[in-house]
Amino acid sequence: MCAGSIAAPDVIAVAAPVRSPLRDSAAISVIGPAYRLDDERIQGLGLLVSAEADMISKRLGTA
């Protein structure tokens, strides 16, 4: 997931849920100034954040 910030202008956040067997239990994210995060960089960060969230979810027992 990627979103512009509601709290601060010109801020971009990329986040992914961390799941446990019962529910989504947390999230990990990367935030930064919009002028440093072009579309290509955001896509790359999305892949990294998603992969890390999946790895943590697996350690928590999610298939």
With left for phi above 0 and alpha for psi between -120 and 50, is residue 10 left, alpha or beta?
A: left
Is residue 13 within 8 Å of 29, Cβ to Cβ?
yes
Is residue 58 within 8 Å of 20, Cβ to Cβ?
no
Q: Is 24 helix (H, G, I), strand (E, B) or coil?
A: strand
CA 2 – CA 41 distance, rounded (Å): 11
Amino acid residing at 54: D
Tell me what pLDDT residue 41 has: 93
Could you tell me which residues are beta bridge partners of residue 36? none
Tell me what pLDDT residue 40 has: 94
Q: Name the pTM for this structure.
A: 0.79
Q: Using one digit for the tens of pLDDT, what is the confidence trace for 8-42?
A: 778 888 999 999 888 778 999 999 998 998 999 99
